[in-house]
Structure 1
Amino acid sequence: MTPIVIKTIQFFLSLSLLIVLHELGHFIPAKLFKTRVEKFYLFFDIKFSLFKKKIGETVYGIGWLPLGGYVKISGMIDESMDKEQMKEEPKPWEFRSKPAWQRLIIMLGGVTVNFILAVVIFIGLVFTYGEEYIANESLKDGIWVTDTTLGNELGIQTGDKFLTIDGEEVEALSQIMPGLLLGNQFTVERNGKIVEKQVPVNVIETLSNNKEKSRALISYRWPFVISQIPKDSPNINSGLQKGDALVRMDGKEVVYKDEVAPILEANKGNKIPVTVMRNGKPVDLTVSVTDKGVLGVVIGMSPEQYKEEGYLEIRTLTYSFWESIPAGWNKGVKVLTDYIKGMKKIFNPDTGAYKEVGGFAAIGGMFPDTWNWPAFWQTTAFISIILAFMNILPIPALDGGHVMFLLYEMVTGRKPSDKFLEYAQMIGFFILIALLLFANGNDLYKWLFK
């Protein structure tokens, strides 16, 4: 199967699971409080259904429009806009006849299930696979900023040792880029001095406009250790060997690829002296630099070699079942907190983050292009958090809109009129359509013009 087909299958599998469980979050408390549920649908069934079957008082079905799902609860003003039912006298089994606290639990059920599901997935992931990361403190010579121009715009340099982002200690290399995207300030050690920097307000826009360069902008520094000399290399007969570690080039001491690159650039087409370490001993050689400023060799080490040579430390955290529960919970809370930070950036026009809002294509693109269960579940948990947050927003037609009106009723003792709720539902529906068009329009624009 092609990558796009694999992504599509994962997207629909994940979306279907999340929708069904979200709607179960409404369905179960509704049934517990003896509230009639007329429909339980995966996807929307405008005009017709792909499948439907009535069991008891509820019709279970699959619609043809994959924009979500719903449960139709008797006596509730929802997306069905069933005005005729609302004109009749309230029945004991209807939503509107139940106490406000029961209606509140029913409406909060969906987002609660989404968040709990994400936590359960995270618990399963950390229990099964643990957590592996490159320890930030083990990068004794700091990070490698792969694009100098872009790094300067963000205020970071090769060799920086990240200490904190927004006052929180940076423990893993993988924390740095998300931290810069969502944070406001950071502290690094640079040339032996502590430097405090503000994250540029338009950091998301800057990285978005330079996607290719920003994908691997921050990395650990690669020691210049030869792993392969191709047969067509200009240095096949120079005396270089697999495993040689470059320590001096053109009279300058070097260790890392980022230190070697400018020397090669300055010596295009020339032969220059180098010193390599081989089996613990220095060996002097002369090498050829191509017109493109390369040696024509492959460099790299295995993670184990990096660790053995002291360039970095890969830490693996393992959890017992009981330890995985708080770890999964903390991860769920962290993802939700980070997402809220991201939403704040989106609503600030100065950040340009609104340009990165995406629809179904963007969500589908989050899945790996090969089948990978850990990555699938990680992505599903993240989307579940998104659904929980988006649904609790105080927009009429979303769960959060219903919750907002219920809280108003509980505080004031006055229930909004059915007519008001109908108008609010319509306004909320148009707001959602506008957001949907904007998000998916962004996807289309990027596909056509970027």
Structure 2
Amino acid sequence: MGIVIMVGQVLLGLSLLIILHELGHFLAARAFGIKVEKFYLFFDAWGVKLFKFNYKGCEYGVGWLPLGGYVKIAGMIDESMDTEQMQGEPQPWEFRSKPAWQRLIVMLGGIIVNIIVGIVIFWMLTFKYGSTDFNNTQLYGIKPGIIGEKVGLKEGDKILAVNGKKANLFFQDILTSDVLMGEAVLTVERGGNQMEITLPKDILNDVSEHKKNELVKPIFKMTPITMVEEGSRADKMGLQVGDSIVSLNGVQLEKLDQFKAEMAANKNKEIKLDVMRQGKSISLTAAADTSSALGFLNLPVVQHQYGFMESLPIGASKAFSVITDNIKGFGKIFKGEVRADKALSGPVGIATMFGTEVDWLRFWSLVGMLSMALAFMNILPIPALDGGHVIFLIVEMIQGKPLSDKFLEKAQIVGFFIIVALMIFVFGNDIFKLTK
């Protein structure tokens, strides 16, 4: 069932984005009086269609090949490679008959819609959920993961700054995109002394393999309890919000990791907690249980809520950070600092990010991220993508005449093979990662 939910989520998310992207082209074309002959979700390769209907001269449908979608615009050399239509005299409702600036807007229509959708999604998520982070003032420094140890970090280090910018309040100030991309120098306090650690340029290889939480993890203080699960062992033993746990079975506790270790060591044993409540020391007892958890939360979480318009610039910043991170990532691939097989993921990799359970916050966060990523991918100057058409139209506007149909046809074929090769690579890479 989990696999069905995962596949269902990725199909729903990508289908929404594909339809909205193609709708951008569709609406722009219709606005300039250009005829749109087809509007398809997925490709109807070799004429195989799962569903179709005609409305006002346009065929709408769903193809069988889930590698994107398309709108077939009359008088345009596109992925349909309908060269017969191009041999006739240009008609006033055709793409080729319109001024270059109108054709440019049509080609940018899908990208513009994806950017708007991405901004709106992150805007609404920021407004509804705000932001949650860990308060660094309530931490005993950091605990390095596999990657952190590799770059020279040690348990108990306090990261004071990233590229000279103070990171002493929230944990998100540490795990910035510059850090994850290997474009950062960390100012670290260790044993009362300060030192600098320069992250390697190829750290993204390790981040892609091990995930970012293997760089650094927070070491939490034992802070007052913020939530007690109803009906849990904590609830039954009388723990309350605001209580501070001092010791467990006589062992003094300062760090949350210590508490977890002691709970694991005392599994199947009676649990006695010494607790400070409103300045008074009390003792609470829980019966022996096979569980190593009690059912409470005491993380030093800081919750921020934002107003409707206040959320807009924050959401827009999150949206555009997806594009800047993609630009940085591709730059590192071309420089040879990051391996393409580590940095790139395809539909299978995307599906695993959605997970096997429905989490609407994660779902819409991923859809927003993918919308911005789709905008970025489509603006790349590759023939057959929107970016390729945009480059050709800009060249036409500069030289004052269009490029030849033969050149555009050949460019489209080259672009098609580039995209197919890229899809084969990312699919194969995804499958290889799953089988490792």
Tell me the TM-score normalized by structure 2.
0.82
Equivalent residues in 2 for 1:1-400 (5 A)?
2-46=1-45, 47-135=47-135, 137-145=136-144, 147=145, 150-170=147-167, 172-174=170-172, 176-177=174-175, 179=177, 180-185=179-184, 186-210=186-210, 215-223=213-221, 243-245=245-247, 255-256=254-255, 279=276, 298=292, 302-303=296-297, 305-306=298-299, 312=300, 314-352=301-339, 354-400=341-387
1:338 Cα deviation (Å)? 2.1
Q: What's the offset of the Cα at 1:339?
A: 2.5
- Tell me the distance in 1 between the aligned counterparts of 2:106 and 2:62: 22
Q: C-alpha displacement at 1:243, in angstroms?
A: 4.1
Taking only aligned residues, the RMSD between alpha carbons, in angstroms, comes to: 3.2
Alpha carbons of structure 1 residues 56 and 261: separation in structure 2 relative to 1, 3 Å = closer
- What is the aligned partner in structure 2 of residue 402 from structure 1? 389
Q: Which moved more, 1:120-129 or 1:384-393?
A: 120-129
Counterpart AA for 2:200: P
Structure 1 SS opposite 2:310: helix
Structure-2 change in CA distance of 1:156 and 1:302 (3 Å): farther
**1:204 and 1:353 in contact (8 A); partners too:** no
Change (3 A) 1:23 1:348: same
Shift in Å at residue 298 of structure 1?
4.2
Q: Residue 113 of structure 1 aligns to which amino acid in structure 2?
A: V
Residue 351 of structure 1 deviates from its aligned partner by: 2.6
Question: CA separation in 2, counterparts of 1:414 and 1:300?
Answer: 74
How much has 1:172 moved relative to structure 2?
3.3
CA 11–209 in structure 1, closer or farther in 2 if over 3 Å, else same? closer
Q: What is the rounded CA distance, in whole Å, between the counterparts of 2:165 and 2:99 in structure 1? A: 44
Q: Distance between the aligned counterparts of 2:343 and 2:203, measured in 1?
A: 12
Amino acid at match of 1:23: E
Q: 1:414 is matched with which residue?
A: 401
Distance 1:277 1:177 in 2: 35
Distance in 2 of aligned mates of 1:246 and 1:345: 49
Deviation at 1:189, TM superposition (A): 2.8
1:157 shift after superposition: 2.0
How many angstroms does 1:128 deviate by? Answer: 1.4
Distance 1:210 1:124, change over 3 A: closer
Q: State the alpha-carbon separation in 2 of the partners of residues 36 and 119 from structure 1.
A: 30
Cα distance change, pair 183–139 in 1 and its aligned pair in 2 (3 A): farther
Q: Distance in 1 between matches of 2:222 and 2:170?
A: 23
* Partner AA of 1:164 in structure 2: A
- Structure-2 change in CA distance of 1:348 and 1:257 (3 Å): farther
Given that 1:367 and 1:379 are in contact with CA atoms closer than 8 Å, whether structure 2 keeps it comes out as yes
1:368 and 1:376 in contact (8 A); partners too: no
Query: Larger deviation: 154-163 or 406-415?
Result: 154-163
In 2, distance between residues paired with 1:4 and 1:164? 42
* Residue identity matched to 1:15: L
**Deviation for aligned residue 1:126:** 1.2
- The 1:260–1:5 alpha-carbon spacing in structure 2 relative to 1, beyond 3 Å, is closer
- 2:418 corresponds to: 431
- Which amino acid is 1:156 matched to? L
* Aligned-partner SS, 2:195: strand
Q: What SS does the corresponding residue of 2:200 show, helix, strand or coil?
A: coil
In structure 2, the CA distance between the partners of 1:210 and 1:328, relative to structure 1 (3 Å rule), is: closer
User: What TM-score results when the alignment is normalised by the length of structure 1?
Assistant: 0.79
Moved more, 77-86 or 356-365: 356-365
Asked whether the equivalents of residues 133 and 174 of structure 1 are also in contact (C-alpha less than 8 Å), the reply is yes
Q: How has the CA–CA distance of structure 1 residues 106 and 317 changed in structure 2, closer, same or farther, with 3 Å as cutoff?
A: same
1:182 partner amino acid? M
* Residues 216/169 of structure 1: CA separation in 2 closer, same or farther (3 Å cut): same
The 1:255/1:354 distance shift into structure 2, 3 A limit, reads same
